[in-house]
Amino acid sequence: MSQSVLSHRLKQTAAEAAVALVQEGMTVGLGSGSTAEIALQLLGQRVRRGLRILGVPTSERVAALAREAGIPLAPEDDFRLDIDIDGADEVEKSTLNLIKGHGGALLREKIVAASSAMFVVIVDESKIVDRLGAKFALPVEVMPFGWRATARQIERLGAKVAIRHGGGDSYFLSDSGHFILDCSFGPLEDPASLASELTTIPGVVEHGLFLGMATRVLVGAPHGVVELRP
């Protein structure tokens, strides 16, 4: 079995376990990324079999996929969620703190997660780390105006900062019209302090540290699903 096939199978296993938690009448956060999109397709299958739910998408791409799957969407301006199903770039094993945002949807993802009674994170084993920042840079969403000045302030916190590019020579734009700075700090000794410092920098809209938010993490593993709780 190739690595890509195995990875997809593990993601599918985690997604199936999460979708099984969804009950009739729930409002469901629809996360972004490859694993969350598998969950969305599984939810669409349940909806076509008669399940009645409302979805809250975390990106315009996910909204389009939800419509294609037949999932009705809740109003964008006012929602309360029973459950949010989303992926993560890194999950710190000891705390279940997360890094998210490599798909560029971190602002909406955090709004949806914070509005949910249950935030279920679905990943394969490769996303579990001993310390956040071990594998991935931290995405930080910033205002386009003055972004270089914002980047310099983040660099003073010890990061190597790179602006994310879209197609060609253009910069990537989030669905909310912001730039993404990928900030490499290395393994994070104190994510909470870093999160606090980032929020004080003018121009920073949101960061990809999701601390103390996950209700449970469902990890797709070769022998089945491993459930982690705080």
Interior CA angle at 88 toward 13 and 109, to 5°? Answer: 115
> What tokens appear for 8 in the block?
């997809």
pLDDT value of position 44: 97
Alpha helices in the chain (DSSP H): 3-19, 34-48, 60-69, 106-114, 147-155, 191-199
What superfamily does domain 138-203 belong to in CATH? ACT domain (3.30.70.260)
Give pLDDT tens digits for 209-227.
999 999 999 999 888 899 9
Catalytic residue among 109, 141, 197, 227: 109
Q: Is the pLDDT of residue 3 over 70?
A: no
* CATH 3.30.1330.60 is held by the domain 3-129+211-222: no
- Note whether 53 and 39 are within 8 A (CB): no
Active site residue 197: no
The H or E element that residue 219 is part of is strand 216-221
Give pLDDT tens digits for 169-202.
899 999 999 999 999 999 999 999 999 999 999 9
pLDDT value of position 60: 96
Every domain range in the chain assigned CATH 3.40.50.1360: 3-129+211-222
Tally of CB atoms within 10 A around 126: 13
Give pLDDT tens digits for 56-91.
999 999 999 999 999 999 999 999 999 999 999 999
Every domain range in the chain assigned CATH 3.30.70.260: 138-203
Give the Cα separation of 106 and 98 in Å (integer). 11
pLDDT value of position 140: 98
**Phi, psi of 19, rounded to the nearest 5 degrees:** -65, -30
Quick one: average pLDDT of 36-42?
96
Give pLDDT tens digits for 94-136.
999 999 999 999 999 999 999 999 999 999 999 999 999 989 9
- Note whether 79 and 115 are within 8 A (CB): yes
Give the Cα separation of 185 and 137 in Å (integer). 7
Give the Cα separation of 157 and 172 in Å (integer). 23
pLDDT value of position 1: 56
